Structure 1
Amino acid sequence: MTLRLPRTALSIAELDELDHDGVVRFVRALEDSGHRMVWIPEVAGREAFTTAALVLGATKRMIVGNGVARALERVPKSAGSAAFDLAAAYPGRYVLGLGVSGAVRERGVGPLPFLRDYLDGVDETLARRGGGRVPRVLGAYSAGITRLAAERADGLITFLVTPEHTRWARETIGPETFLSVVHWAVVGRDRATARDIARERLAYYLTLPHQIAKLTRLGFTDADLAPPGSDRLLDALVACGTPDQVREALRQQYDAGATQVAVSLVGPLDDAKLDAYRALTEEEN
């Protein structure tokens, strides 16, 4: 199955900070601005599938992907059944995204065999529910799970990576498999200010062993990864400047092989950020 999704998307971490009504207002504003797809990360508090249902129900045409739901948070039956219902209720508008971290080793199994078995369980659930194919992607950075995304899913989604990683991922999954790259950006600020804004959010990820391992493989040193992160690290991971300058920076990901780039705007959700979201729809319209 070739996954066809908009060339540009958003990854909206802001939902963790909003109540029900705030989520509804926010995603409707994004849709009204012309955005056609959002990925919902599962990070600080919101549950993946209920949040996807909320966003799908609050919008009319928006495509919504779990980007990504944590497989360790629920058994395959729960993930598969929830995904089946969302895909059935909103045809063509839902994408299941799944990922697993190295924390799974505490259960005595590696991430690759765990996720392979997990996908078996999801498929068994879908078959029991009546069959049908729910579009799905895997979040991955290791070679094994990246290849699994090409073998057992419709695509791959990555996060906090450089174009060099995107080029490697494209070579690994082949020319046809869908590849979405989530890239941080700060619109309307200079480089120094953008670094300061992004460092606050990056602090959490610099505590996660699988993120540290990924960034180390990308050539960053212990000095780069020591909190709060070096200027070199921030400059590689965060696009900044005017909307056109941000688009130019993101073009490097397309040139490296991304099918889609999902922009994640860093910083507080205020009027300036909403204006930045509106400005970034110009390329799509």
Structure 2
Amino acid sequence: MKLPRTALSIAELDELDHDGAVRFVRMLEESGHRMVWLPEVLGREAFTTAALVLGATGRLIVGNGVARALERVPKSAGSAAYDLAAGHPGRYVLGLGVSGAVRKRGTGPLPFLREYLDGVDETVARRGPVRVPRVLGAYSEGITRLAAGRADGLITFLVTPEHTRWARETVGPELFLSVVQWAVVGRSRSQAREVARERLAYYLRLPHQIAKLTRLGFTEADLAPPGSDRLVDALVATGTADEVREQVRQQYDAGATQVALTLPGPLDETKLDAYRALGEQEQ
């Protein structure tokens, strides 16, 4: 699977209406960005949002990064992904993930996702010959290894280069590995910490994120809301567009195939300028 070396992961669509979302993604494309991942977090449904972005743009590659498997049955996910891949050849990637919440159903994330992929495969095969490229969102060893055997790649989120190095060693040298990297552009370090903490607060309430960050060596003191300076500085690149690009080079050095920047904070003029500046680097 060949995808751009750089991408964006855009959470802003949750806060925009239809017309605002169209204007925003067109601006990203016009600024030079080549690919976006769409997280499914607070509001928008994964596949209809992917269809919106694909229809609003002409060249932008769109990935669900990631669609929540617990939100829909495998037949629905597989069929929706098939139609997007068929309607926009070479521009769509299915991303799937599952959290520890699946244990409430009496199963673990790994067996659940393995069976889920079986259902997706059956649906896609029944629909026709269109290939649907896919990645898995994973932090645990089990699902990371599942990605190596059952997907075209792996996507990780809110991790340090140390985790990226471990993931690369786990899946081998060839598998596509995208790392979603937080960045605050055009603000001082103290301002950047404040912006990042507003969004980080949500993730510091999620048990699977706490477990992941604990495995990466962060302490209870680091993870106590709103997060220590050590935690924020390890997870968030800051500075000018050029300085951010220099900092994320650590993720490439650790084994990332792609780095997808996500910019926390309100969609104000400072952030829009940051998106444009980052896009100019892609041209």
Aligned to 1:219: 217
- For 1:105 and 1:49, how far apart are their aligned partners in 2? 25
Query: Pick from 67, 83, 104: which aligns with 1:85?
Result: 83
Query: Pick from 250, 268, 271: which aligns with 2:269?
Result: 271
- For 1:117 and 1:133, how far apart are their aligned partners in 2? 20
Partner of 1:133, secondary structure, is coil
Partner of 1:253, secondary structure, is helix
- What are structure 1's unaligned runs of at least 5 residues? none
| Code of the aligned partner of 1:178 | F
Aligned to 2:249: 251
- For 1:100 and 1:11, how far apart are their aligned partners in 2? 18
| Code of the aligned partner of 2:156 | T
| Code of the aligned partner of 1:77 | K
Q: CA offsets, 1:177-210, max 9 Å, x none? A: 0000000000011111100000000000000000
| Code of the aligned partner of 2:18 | H
- For 2:130 and 2:148, how far apart are their aligned partners in 1? 19
- What are structure 2's unaligned runs of at least 5 residues? none
Tell me by how many angstroms 1:92 deviates: 0.2
Aligned to 1:208: 206
Using the size of structure 1 for normalisation, the TM-score is 0.98
Partner of 2:280, secondary structure, is coil
Q: CA offsets, 1:32-60, max 9 Å, x none? A: 00100000000001000000000000000
Using the size of structure 2 for normalisation, the TM-score is 0.99
- For 1:243 and 1:21, how far apart are their aligned partners in 2? 28
Tell me by how many angstroms 1:130 deviates: 1.2
Tell me by how many angstroms 1:80 deviates: 0.0
Mean Cα deviation higher: 187-196 or 72-81? 187-196
Q: Does 1:67 align with 2:53?
A: no
Q: Matches of residues 79-118 of structure 1 in structure 2 within 5 Å?
A: 79-118=77-116
Two-structure CA RMSD over aligned residues (Å): 0.6
| Code of the aligned partner of 1:144 | G
| Code of the aligned partner of 1:35 | H
Runs of 4+ that moved beyond 3 A: none
Q: Does 1:120 align with 2:118?
A: yes
| Code of the aligned partner of 1:265 | L
- For 1:261 and 1:208, how far apart are their aligned partners in 2? 23
Aligned to 2:55: 57
Tell me by how many angstroms 1:271 deviates: 1.5
Q: CA offsets, 1:156-183, max 9 Å, x none? A: 0000000000000000011000000000
| Code of the aligned partner of 1:45 | G
- For 1:104 and 1:131, how far apart are their aligned partners in 2? 31
